[in-house]
Every structure is written in C-alpha cells, then in structure tokens.
Amino acid sequence: MTSVPEPWMQRLREGAFPPVGKTVVAVAVLGVLGLAGVALELSHGGVGGSGDGRSTRSFLLPWVLLVAAVALAIGTARYRRRDRAAVERARAWQVRPRLFLPAHVNLRGDLAAFGIPSRRRDRPTLWTVDEVGLHAWTPARAEPVAEVRWADLHDVEPDERRTITGQSAWSLAVVAEAGRLGMIARPALGSPLGASARKQDDLLRAVRSLRHELQHAPQARGSSLA
C-alpha cells in the first residue's frame, strides 16, 4: 500500500477515530463569533437603513456562523455514532479490513446495480478495503450491504461534482461491472465534512495501491455476498 506518512491516513488504516478536541474548538469559535455578531446587530437595530447588499450580507453572516456551529456539532455526533457502529460490524466480519473509507450517503450512479438501498437513511456511510475487494457498511446490518470484488472492479477514479455554489469539487468514483458509483469520501471516521481534493487524491491512490497488492491474494471463505 502507498505510504502516506500523515496521521489522518494512518487512522483510516487502523479504523481509529480522531480526537474531538479540534471539532469542539471549531464549534465554540463559530458559536461565539455568531452570538457576538447577532448581539452586535441587535444592539444596532438590525440591518442598516441603506438596504444595500453589503448590509444584508453583514446581517446574515452571524446567523450563518451560528447555523454552521450547530450543524457541525450535530453532524459530528451523528457520524461518530454511526461510524463507530459500522466499524464494529466490519471488524466482526470474516475479512480483516486494510483501509476504512468513510463517505457521505449522497452517492451518484445506479444504486440498485450495486445492491445499495435507495433510501438515504439506509445507505452506507463506511466502505472497507480488504483482500476480497470493497465492502459497504451500515450500523444496522451485520454483513455488508454491498460488495465490489477485485475481479469486478475496473478502477477507482476521480469524480467531478458541482457544489451548491456552482463550483467544481472532486470526489471518488468506483467503476465496476455493475456500473459507475460516485461517492464523497470523508477524511476521518466520525467527521461530517468531505475530504479536500488533495486527500481525495491520497485516498484514491491508497485504494489503487491496495488493489494491486491484494487482488491476487486468496479469497476468504464465505466472503461473497448472497
């Protein structure tokens, strides 16, 4: 496997969760800035009389910071709970994971062809890479919800998406016999944030390297899904 001497990648190899200290600090900073901004705006009577775009943006910014703080706190708690349960499922299965790949549920492609449920709440938030191939996990099931065996995998490649602001963003795509499945990888277990373009590229190279290393390894007994 490609050596990426960074703590975040090592944690994904081990299935370890990062400390929550940085997230707590980020939530606190966003919350304090948001509250301070709201208090300042209210003390000055809200939006200024000019009514121009700059005044409106100035008024909205504190509220955006508050919403971001709440969303980050709730998202982190939710993903840590789901990821912890999914990691336990993956560890208890027949095949030892070599890489844990957390992802968002907003997948792109023919989900049914990969055996992935259409309901967002039932979609996997964790993929693992092992000697058999790629496996998708949810907290609710003891077995993978989807499997892409090395023999069926054509490649893992970059996937370009458009953000809500219309800008380009990069994610990953699994190209297999069943079709093409795009996913947004997350840089850490328990994180609600998507990985940066650089980390997406590091993960892509890591999966490709593992495929080269493991695709000819003996398959584990009972690893194929029914």
Q: Could you write out the DSSP letters of every residue in 43-96?
A: HTTSS-TT--HHHHHHHHHHHHHHHHHHHHHHHHHHHHHHHHHHHHHHHHSSS-
Domains in the chain: how many in total?
Answer: 1
pLDDT surpasses 60 at 56: no
The answer to whether residue 86 sits within a structural domain is: yes
Q: How confident is the model at residue 49 (pLDDT cuts 50, 70, 90)?
A: very low
What is the domain-level CATH number for residue 56?
2.30.29.30
Q: What percent of the chain has pLDDT over 90?
A: 52
**What was the pLDDT predicted at 48?**
47
The answer to whether residue 64 sits within a structural domain is: yes
The answer to whether residue 226 sits within a structural domain is: no
pLDDT surpasses 80 at 168: no
Taking all residues of the chain, what is their mean pLDDT, rounded to a whole number? 82
The answer to whether residue 132 sits within a structural domain is: yes
The answer to whether residue 128 sits within a structural domain is: yes
Supply the range of the domain harboring residue 174: 15-214
Q: Is 70 or 115 the better-scoring residue by pLDDT?
A: 115
Q: How confident is the model at residue 171 (pLDDT cuts 50, 70, 90)?
A: confident
99-102 and 133-137 beta bridge pairing: unpaired
